[in-house]
Chain A
Amino acid sequence: MDMKVKQKKLNLKDRYNLMTRDLDWEPSYQKKSDIFPYLAYEGIKIHDWSKFEDPFRLTMDAYWKYQAEKEKKLYAIIDAFNQNNGHLQVTDARYINALKLFLTGVSPLEYMAHRGFAHVGRQLGGAGPRVACLMQSLDEIRHSQTQIHSMSNYNKFYNGFQNFRHQHDRVWYLSVPKSFFDDAVTAGPFEFMVSIGFAFEYVLTNLLFVPFVSGAAYNGDMAAMAFGFSAQSDEARHMTLGLEMIKFILEQDPDNLPIVQRWIDKWFWRGYRVLTLVAMMMDYMLPKRVMSWKEAWETYAEQNGGALFADLARYGITVPAGWTQACKDKDHISHQAWATFYNYGAAAPFHTWTPSESEMEWLSAKYPDTFDKYYRPRFEHWAKEAAEGKRFYNTTLPMLCQTCQIPMVFTEPDDPTKIAYRESDYSGMKYHFCSDGCKGIFDHEPEKYIQAWMPVHQIYQGNCFTPEADPSAPDFNPLAEVLKWYRMEMGRDNLDFEGSQDQKNFKAWRDLATAN
């Protein structure tokens, strides 16, 4: 609320300076290097922190008011959605599985982003970036909260939402987004700014939020749409912070360029691998589709991302090392990912299915060069087997990539019939990778990735059972015990959508809501 004051209001610039740089001080009895211990070891050279231009400065004055207003609107929409039984307005209960994927895979990352920016907001050497990181840290915890609130409505009616936080640290496929963020928050402050401030916010959130939120809207989910739009309006500022930080680092010293380039190469690739989940969501999990992954990649990566790298070219930055392969992969990754979840549909806390004939027609039209030739045969085979009561579940654990931790499902960039195998020898042992990108990341910092918590290996090491489990018992069933440790209920939270409790309840409730 504006207060009536006699004095003239300060202008925006003065107010910003008072609220940021004016809060800073020069230490008199402590060394700066003791106060900011992480500023030098990454090799980044900063000569003048005051040159940092804070992208939050123009909106800072209105920040609190806008965020509060957005919050009020969001909760009003969620409330209306709940009161109106909005969960029955979605296209099909299959859609709700996209929310389960988002809640387990993405919302915990928002919380990690909050922690990461809070940490970096303490460690950077200038008041401008410290305040900007603090504000972003607040946004991120808000995103985490609004997402959890928006989706908690579904938890009352559908299975699979109940233990998402417990599962995030344990379930096999969640090690993919988790390891991405663990890698980032255990890096130095400058690498964190490039990994999350730039690669995650810039490269990923466009591809994550715009299609996801449009998908929610297309499928009648007003609650998810509301949090998405609320978050996306913050993402623009977050992207600008990441970009400003990169430009600032590059302008400070020419020695910073090769370090930043290597981080861009690494984090583009790691982020791109996490996006595999989004690709699958768009092409397979939305009953009413917005656009194909391929179209989204062309719009948000090739066009927008291309413009971004053209902008950075004047600093000497080149397109990330894995870019060409990522552009080739756009025809494949969504199909490969969904086939993987179909394989392991007994071990994920959401339902899977084979696409219907009309959905296969859509996929075939969107992927004329690849779907019918490479992917349709396996879905048709699986549909036939399922119709005969022999639904295919893969019960043997897969080989994983040591870096991205995704099962080795990706094919050679120029041959979609051949799995891509890469390996390195390090410290007397072999390590395996799904791509040149993941191998390159490992080879540069092997000590970091040899300690990766690989779900498959951990299961075989016996570390994924509840304390009550007795592996020496004659009827010991390792898969069932692992699911217990995940807190997944066999037959309720997993397996095929066809015949699931979610499917039955949705139909029964909708029939009640639309008939007398």
Chain B
Amino acid sequence: MTTTSVRPYPHIQKDTVDKFPAPLLYIGWEDHLMFCAPFCLPLPPTLKFGDMLAGPLPGVFGAHPDFAKIDWSAAEWFKSGKAWKPDVNKTLAENGLGHKDVIRFRTPGLHGLNGSCN
């Protein structure tokens, strides 16, 4: 059912990709709720996945004492909640990531401050 209205309802899709400097990617770190929510980042589709891990991510998640201990080769990834394997040598676009996709990662052995998921 569409929106009930007296006249035809306008289709205003406010956040289409053309309105942003780069497509948005949402990214969350499991078991680390010190960061209250997943992040929203505009990232160029040509950025290599590995470069994202080395570049923007430390600025985003680096304040957590666990961050420096991450072994990225052991990280488990999820896309829209389903297990997923990114290729670090491929770009975000080549990894199939599009505007407003949501990914999250789990870092085995690292479960937040004293293992409290914080």
Contacts and interface: CB of A to CB of B under 8 A. Distances in A.
Interface of A: 37-38, 41-43, 188, 336, 339-340, 343-344, 373-375, 377-378, 381-382, 392, 394, 396-400, 407-409, 411, 417-419, 421, 423, 427, 429-432, 444-448, 450-454, 456-457, 460-462
Contacts, number: 144
Contact of A409 (B9, B24, B37, B117): B37
B3 A419 contact: no
Interface in B5-44: 5-6, 9-16, 19-21, 24, 26, 28, 30-31, 33-42
Residue of A42, A382, A418, A460 with highest tally of chain B CB at under 10 A: A460
Contact of B42 (A340, A382, A460): A460
A343 B36 contact: yes
B36 A407 contact: yes
B20 A377 contact: no
B40 A397 contact: yes
Given A421-B102, A448-B3, A378 B34 contact: yes
A344 B39 CA distance: 12
A429 B16 contact: yes
B86 interface: no
Interface stretch (B45-53, B88-96, B108-116): B108-116
7 contacts: A381-B118, A394-B63, A396-B60, A398-B36, A407-B36, A446-B3, A454-B14
Nearest to B65: A381
Nearest to B13: A450
Nearest to B101: A430
Given A378-B113, A429-B100, A444-B1, 7 more contacts: A378-B33, A381-B34, A396-B59, A417-B31, A419-B28, A421-B102, A457-B40
Nearest to B40: A399
Given A408-B38, A447-B3, A399 B114 contact: no
Contact of A423 (B10, B16, B28, B80): B80
List the 3 closest pairs (A to B, CB-CB), nearest first. A451-B12, A407-B37, A398-B37
Contact of B2 (A38, A447, A457): A447
A474 B113 CA distance: 38
B40 A398 contact: yes
B108 to A, nearest CB: 15
Contacts of B80: 421, 423, 430
A399 B6 contact: no
Contacts of B81: 421
A43 B38 contact: no
Interface of B: 1-6, 9-16, 19-21, 24, 26, 28, 30-31, 33-42, 59-60, 63, 80-81, 99-102, 104, 112-114, 116-118
A37 B6 CA distance: 8
Contacts of A421: 28, 38, 80-81, 102, 104
B40 A450 contact: no
B33 A417 contact: yes
Contacts of A392: 34, 63
Contact of B40 (A42, A339, A381, A400): A400
Nearest to B63: A392
Given A432-B100, A447-B3, A461-B19, A453 B14 contact: yes
Nearest to A426: B13
Contacts of A462: 21
B99 A429 contact: yes
A415 B12 CA distance: 36
B26 A38 contact: no
B14 A447 contact: no
A421 B101 CA distance: 12
Q: Does more than half of chain A's interface fall in helix, strand or loop, or is it mixed?
A: mixed
A394 B99 contact: no
Contact of A452 (B14, B19, B104, B112): B14
B19 A394 contact: no
Contact of B118 (A43, A378, A427, A461): A378
A454 to B, nearest CB: 7
Contacts of B59: 396
A456 B39 CA distance: 10
B24 A457 contact: yes
Given A343-B35, A450-B13, A417 B6 contact: no
B36 A409 contact: yes
A126 B39 CA distance: 50
A190 B59 CA distance: 49
A375 B24 CA distance: 30
Given A42-B4, A377-B112, A381-B113, A396 B41 contact: yes
Contacts of B60: 396
A347 B1 CA distance: 38
Contact of B37 (A41, A43, A399): A399
Contacts of A373: 116
A400 B39 CA distance: 9
Residue of B19, B36, B41, B114 with most chain A CB atoms under a 10 A cut-off: B36
A195 to B, nearest CB: 14
Contact of B116 (A38, A374, A448): A374
A394 B21 contact: no
A460 B40 contact: yes
Contacts of A340: 36-37
Contacts of A397: 39-40
A473 B39 CA distance: 26
A276 to B, nearest CB: 12
B39 A41 contact: no
B40 A418 contact: no
Nearest to A341: B36
A344 B36 CA distance: 9
A399 B1 CA distance: 27
A378 B115 CA distance: 11
A38 B118 contact: no
